[in-house]
Amino acid sequence: MAWDRGGRQLEPEVLPAGSRSCAAPGASMRRPARTAFGNLFDPTGKANVSLPTMVERPTAAWRANVEEDVAGLAAGTLDPDEAVAAQLWPDDMIRDTDEVLDLFETDVAGLVNHRYEPAGDAEIFGVIERTVRALNAVNVRYDEAAYETGERESLCKYIEDVLDVAGIDVDAFAGAGAGAASSSAAEGNHGLSSTGSVG
């Protein structure tokens, strides 16, 4: 959750899909929790407006599916045999994935915030590679069943969307491996690889 300089929690603001919000320096910006670039203020209290929009995490959808199953079971509208979301997306796996995505968002913010020159390809690729390796480690902890095709595709899309929001041209960077992630996932390859692609 975001906080203002006085320590008050900010109310969430929902932006239309594809919109980019630009606030004046020092202006208050609000976002929901668990979105890319949720830390809106640097340590000096200045508003961080260089990454102005949000990207919803795949884990939010997984969590919502689990909650939907729980509500359906409680209401008696869902057959217990059909309530599989908690098995597909256990709380621990979602939490572990969120920890990786927290680090990814911090790394991407470091690529673009308060810099005098743009990040180089090697630095960008390093962020992607660390993230994919960490996601691979989560997958291994869950017997290589944490991320099936749908989860891999949504994680790859999330990584690409966060980079895009940060102003990193994923299409131009694709030759180094970043943009290949979604296309490889669509081809049905298994697992996230350490090269920033799915394979």
Residue 175 confidence (pLDDT): 59
pLDDT tens track for 126-180:
999 999 999 999 999 999 999 999 999 999 999 999 999 998 888 876 655 544 4
Highest average pLDDT, of 1-10, 35-44, 163-172, 190-199, comes from 163-172
The helix or strand, by DSSP H or E, that contains position 26, with its residue range, turns out to be: none
Q: What is the mean pLDDT of the chain?
A: 73
Q: What's phi and psi for 198, nearest 5 deg?
A: -95, 130
* Residue 34, CA distances (Å) to 13, 48, 63, 77, 142 in order: 13, 17, 12, 29, 22
Q: Taking the model in full, what pTM does it have? A: 0.65
pLDDT tens track for 73-128:
999 999 999 999 999 999 999 999 999 999 999 999 999 887 788 888 899 999 99
Residue 118 confidence (pLDDT): 82
Domain boundaries along the sequence of the chain: 1-54, 58-186
Task: Give the pair of three-digit tokens for residue 86.
Answer: 């908690």
Which of these, 197, 199, 112, 129, lies nearest to 163 by C-alpha position?
112
Which of these, 40, 37, 18, lies nearest to 29 by C-alpha position?
40
Residue 170 confidence (pLDDT): 81
Residue 192 confidence (pLDDT): 52
Judged against a pLDDT cut of 90, whether residue 28 lies above it is answered with no
CB atoms within 10 A of CB 61: 14
Judged against a pLDDT cut of 80, whether residue 70 lies above it is answered with yes
Place of tokens 């298994």: 190
